[in-house]
Structure 1
Amino acid sequence: MNLEHTEVKFWGGLRTIGGTIISVQYKDARVIFDYGLIFSPASSIFDGKIKERNVNTVHDYVKLGLVPPIDGVYEKSDIAALDGLLSVEEDNRETAVIISHLHLDHMGGMGMLSPQIPVYLTDETVDLYETLETIGEKVPGHRPNLKKCHFHETFQVGEIKITPIPIDHDVIGACGFHIATPDGAIFYTGDFRLHGRHPELIEQAITKAKELAFDVLIMEGTTLQDIEESKNLIVPDATLPDQLTKEKEVVEKMQAILQETTGLGLFNIYHRNVERVQDIIALKNTSGRKVVFELETAYVADQLLDSKDFAVYVSADTKMEHAAGTLPEWKQALLEKYEHVEAKDMNANPAGYFVQTTYENSLELLDWNVENGAYIHANGTPLGDYDPAYHNLLKLLKYIGLERFVVGTGGHAMPQHLKYVLEKLDPKILVPLHSFHPERLVPDNGRLLLPEYNATYIINEHNMHKQ
């Protein structure tokens, strides 16, 4: 298929939080971004009890609608039983996938792709993925054919030019993309926020995108609410409200809680937020408590951070693995490099420790002296009410008498911040997505386009319209 115009299709993420998948084709070249999965634990068919099949993974994900039926991206052997879908071997287009950041709702489906398809991520993102892969957090399916791209360095797929532009999100390596063809250009923001550690990146991204020039702005709108919920119009405002927790304040709030806690300090975080891991390590100096990570997070810190002043938790299961000689090499290397902490150490001096506890390892709490302790829930899973596991966590903490403190901040811009960035970019055409209510984000000057699935949009003469 050789197109003489630029064709855009929206495959996922239009009215969902995540799952954004969009293709841009010019002549016989095509770029697809992102390739994530929609996170909906309450409604997902894979509920943790249904066992995923290893040999039919791609077939199952396509058949269940978890990834879209896109021609020319899947291996023939993976989709042989799916009628009407062309395999990568049967498609002559040059295709590449570009990933904005390493959250599952933007990259969780990239293992479904044929290893023949190059998948471009920024340098930091590749480094983080390879670290996560080692500790068992690889994507299902094939190992992606990862390629590094670099901030502000343009690369090409056919005649399509892609320029990664750094933005601030709660994961390292995050970027937006400027995507240009001879017919026009798109700026895709990816996910971003103004209340993070690097708000200057957003202003710089605005400047860079306008410098490169674009016709269509594809923009996230995660925090947008229905007009009946929000009860107000969205006005552009870049200021940070007092009630909004800024990323730099998260660790300060943790410190304040620890100062008032006479027992064990515990924290539940998402270790893909590597900068927060770094902030927690620094708490040893201000809190006087030894910072203790589970082995997986310790490996992330060991590989990606210069800060090494932490200990590792050794559970009974880890000791059993070690005795049996089945401990993976990466775990063995951590045990040789870092101080060990066991339950007996913490129980002898609870006030001397600040210890990680993830939801999946919650039964470790039964071995710890948690009297007068504090459980700091800082954006670690389960995140909230929409996840059935969240209620299970609350039930467990109540049962053992452990007080929970919610201290965290999200990775997505507030509605007034979205509007501020929108008006600064001032696009000809706005496509809001990654939102339950994208219609709430309306440009003052440009045209609002709410695209449809299974429709084709054409870019020509620096405009975009439905075919």
Structure 2
Amino acid sequence: MTKLSFYGGIGEIGGNKILLEESETKVFLDFGKSFNLERNFFDFPLLKPFYIPDLLNIGAIPSLRGLYRNSSEKPPVDAVLITHPHLDHYGYLSFLNKGVNIFLGKGTKEIIDIRSRTYRNYWDTKLDHLSFETFSTGDEKETGNLSFKPIHVDHSIPAAYGFIIQAGNKTISYTGDFRFHGRMGKLTEDFLAALEKEDIDVLLCEGTNISPGEEDEFLREFEERLQNRGGVKVPERFPVHCRSEADVKEQMQRVAEELEGLVVVETSAADVDRIRTVSEVARKTGRKLVLDPRQAYLTYELEKSGLVSGLPNRGNSSVLMERRKLGKRLKSPTDSEDKETGKKGRDQWQQEFFEMSGEVYWGPEGREEIRKNAEGFLLCTSNATARFMELRYEKPFRCSYILSKSEPFNEEMAISFDKLLHWLGLLGIDKYYQIHVSGHADREEIKKLVEKANPNTLFPVHTNYPQLFKEIFSKSRIVEPTKGKPYEL
């Protein structure tokens, strides 16, 4: 008997944890962090989960005896199949029993390893007790009574895959996160071609961008509330419509050519395609690209590994280090209280920047150089608020801002965005541009994939609006999964 049970990724974007059972074999499809659920119960950094039972109590992870690393029993599942290296798909792996085998792409493992070096290892991030088996697109893999084939797809991070799985007499496909409109849309076309060759019984399809309207009303309502707040002048947002990553590049270049002073572009930390787009815009507009440390480390390491080509490297970009005070043990009696450190006292991955060739801007002198020559720089960062706070010194300097990632879509993000808008105002920025395209398939792209796959049964996942699938797709049986309920196939 083949069964599916859903422990995350239903009625929410991300947090995918889907249990597939075939006879005695059990595997999870992704084991992702449920950000929305954690936000409902915790408040970082003051109120955060202390150990695994805290997450069990709120239903963030499934209550299955022997599944977790604090158990000496044989785990109840054989393996986890990871689609791509975003935390909402792999973020809870660290809790698993060491007897659970982890299947993931070679590039996925590389990216997870690179990013883990830039963060401290805590109880909820350690992975060294687990066994990993890597794959490439088209490989035939087996675990117990299941066989599966990973096929690459395009997403906002490299090394993303969809799966075609044989479970008994059923053919099941899981899309993971995908799109057709990115730089590597051909990858998703390969996945689509593979689906067309199969008789798909069950399709597990992401629906991030399935929503009642063209755009979420949250940001518009948030801006209206700010406008009505007394004494606060809110910078005006100029959204630039884009349908593809190529559009983003074209429009960002057009806007950047007209902007004055330092151009600051905010992207998601691991949106490698977007960082590459920003790099190309900097080159086309004659500006020197400056990256924040984590983005620089990710792109430099990916370029060095050969996993992705065309990324910024030490020869064509620079790094703006975050402010860090010189530790007490390293200070001399004459050092001021706010004296900053360059290499000393930083984490090993940050120290490497000072050992490489290329420019590293740090301390008051480095930031002053950027301010004085603002017209010649384009800064790409995943935290514009922090960079604005560091760069502003005594008086504003000429700068402009481009938001090139998703707008706020929950209250916590809105609070952070509110702070950003205040910093824009303090710097004299009265308008900003939003130039972005989603890392996920839009409604028409999802329709294209579902119609080509033509499954007998479709389970919507990774969506806030699973009920809308019934309005869009009529040929397939649509099942809105309930958390923890097993579905016999």
Q: How does 1:289-300 map to 2 (within 5 A)?
A: 289-300=287-298
Query: Partner of 1:325 in structure 2?
Result: 344
Q: Equivalents in 2 of 1:285, 1:377: separation in Å?
A: 19
Q: Equivalents in 2 of 1:351, 1:152: separation in Å?
A: 47
Deviates more, 1:19-28 or 1:139-148: 139-148
CA deviation profile, 1:219-241 (whole Å, cap 9, x unmatched): 011122248999xxxxxxxxxxx
CA deviation profile, 1:404-462 (whole Å, cap 9, x unmatched): 2211111122222212221111111111122122122243322122222232222xxxx
Q: Equivalents in 1 of 2:26, 2:38: separation in Å?
A: 34
User: Residue 18 of structure 1 aligns to which amino acid in structure 2?
Assistant: G
Query: Partner of 1:454 in structure 2?
Result: 484
Deviation at 1:261, TM superposition (A): 1.6
- 1:365 aligns to 2:391 (yes or no): yes
Q: Equivalents in 1 of 2:24, 2:241: separation in Å?
A: 50
1:377 to 400, 403, 424: 403
Q: Equivalents in 2 of 1:255, 1:426: separation in Å?
A: 40
In the superposition, relative to structure 1, how do residues 107 and 244 fare at CA in structure 2: closer, same or farther (>3 Å)?
Answer: same
1:204 to 163, 167, 190: 190
Q: Equivalents in 2 of 1:384, 1:52: separation in Å?
A: 19
Deviation at 1:389, TM superposition (A): 1.2
- 1:170 aligns to 2:170 (yes or no): no
Gaps of 5+ in 2: 217-239, 304-308, 327-338
CA deviation profile, 1:80-106 (whole Å, cap 9, x unmatched): xxxxxxx4x334655111111122222
User: Residue 367 of structure 1 aligns to which amino acid in structure 2?
Assistant: Y
Q: Equivalents in 2 of 1:410, 1:23: separation in Å?
A: 28
User: Residue 453 of structure 2 aligns to which amino acid in structure 1?
Assistant: L
Contact 2:275 2:380 in 1 (8 A): no
Name the Cα RMSD after superposition: 2.8
**Count of residues in correspondence between the two structures:** 431
In the superposition, relative to structure 1, how do residues 207 and 340 fare at CA in structure 2: closer, same or farther (>3 Å)?
Answer: same
Q: Equivalents in 1 of 2:215, 2:271: separation in Å?
A: 30
* Matched residue SS, 1:44: helix
Query: Partner of 2:56 in structure 1?
Result: 62
Q: Equivalents in 2 of 1:360, 1:398: separation in Å?
A: 12
* Matched residue SS, 2:63: coil
Contact 2:66 2:73 in 1 (8 A): yes
CA deviation profile, 1:59-118 (whole Å, cap 9, x unmatched): 22222222222333202x3xxxxxxxxx4x334655111111122222222222223322
Deviation at 1:246, TM superposition (A): 1.0
In the superposition, relative to structure 1, how do residues 228 and 204 fare at CA in structure 2: closer, same or farther (>3 Å)?
Answer: closer
User: Residue 348 of structure 1 aligns to which amino acid in structure 2?
Assistant: K
Query: Partner of 1:10 in structure 2?
Result: 6
Q: Equivalents in 1 of 2:319, 2:37: separation in Å?
A: 30
Q: State the TM-score, normalized to the length of structure 1.
A: 0.84
Query: Partner of 1:142 in structure 2?
Result: 126
- 1:312 aligns to 2:319 (yes or no): yes
Contact 2:262 2:376 in 1 (8 A): yes
Q: How does 1:42-441 map to 2 (within 5 A)?
A: 43-52=39-48, 56-75=50-69, 77=70, 87=71, 89-91=72-74, 93=76, 95-136=78-119, 140-143=124-127, 145=130, 146-226=132-212, 243-305=241-303, 307-308=312-313, 309-317=316-324, 322=341, 325-337=344-356, 338-341=358-361, 342-357=366-381, 358-359=383-384, 361-362=386-387, 363-367=389-393, 371-379=397-405, 387=413, 388-402=415-429, 403-441=431-469
Identity of aligned residues (%): 26
Deviation at 1:50, TM superposition (A): 2.2
User: Residue 13 of structure 1 aligns to which amino acid in structure 2?
Assistant: G
Deviation at 1:250, TM superposition (A): 1.8
In the superposition, relative to structure 1, how do residues 324 and 356 fare at CA in structure 2: closer, same or farther (>3 Å)?
Answer: closer
Contact 1:268 1:380 in 2 (8 A): no
Q: Equivalents in 2 of 1:428, 1:22: separation in Å?
A: 19
Deviation at 1:251, TM superposition (A): 2.6
CA deviation profile, 1:274-322 (whole Å, cap 9, x unmatched): 1222232233421111101111111112101254110111344277674
In the superposition, relative to structure 1, how do residues 271 and 454 fare at CA in structure 2: closer, same or farther (>3 Å)?
Answer: closer
Gaps of 5+ in 1: 78-86, 231-241, 459-463
Q: Equivalents in 2 of 1:109, 1:414: separation in Å?
A: 27
* Matched residue SS, 2:378: strand
* Matched residue SS, 1:285: helix
User: Residue 452 of structure 1 aligns to which amino acid in structure 2?
Assistant: T
In the superposition, relative to structure 1, how do residues 315 and 216 fare at CA in structure 2: closer, same or farther (>3 Å)?
Answer: closer
In the superposition, relative to structure 1, how do residues 48 and 453 fare at CA in structure 2: closer, same or farther (>3 Å)?
Answer: closer
Q: Equivalents in 2 of 1:368, 1:290: separation in Å?
A: 25
Query: Partner of 1:24 in structure 2?
Result: 20
User: Residue 146 of structure 2 aligns to which amino acid in structure 1?
Assistant: I
Contact 2:10 2:462 in 1 (8 A): yes
Contact 1:186 1:214 in 2 (8 A): yes
* Matched residue SS, 1:90: coil
Query: Partner of 2:227 in structure 1?
Result: none
Contact 2:37 2:60 in 1 (8 A): no
CA deviation profile, 1:186-242 (whole Å, cap 9, x unmatched): 100111122211222222212112324321011011122248999xxxxxxxxxxx9
Deviates more, 1:388-397 or 1:149-158: 388-397
Deviates more, 1:436-445 or 1:377-386: 377-386
* Matched residue SS, 2:392: helix
Q: Equivalents in 1 of 2:162, 2:395: separation in Å?
A: 46
User: Residue 378 of structure 1 aligns to which amino acid in structure 2?
Assistant: S
In the superposition, relative to structure 1, how do residues 321 and 65 fare at CA in structure 2: closer, same or farther (>3 Å)?
Answer: farther
In the superposition, relative to structure 1, how do residues 369 and 218 fare at CA in structure 2: closer, same or farther (>3 Å)?
Answer: farther
Q: State the TM-score, normalized to the length of structure 2.
A: 0.81
Q: Equivalents in 2 of 1:68, 1:198: separation in Å?
A: 35
Q: Equivalents in 2 of 1:324, 1:222: separation in Å?
A: 42
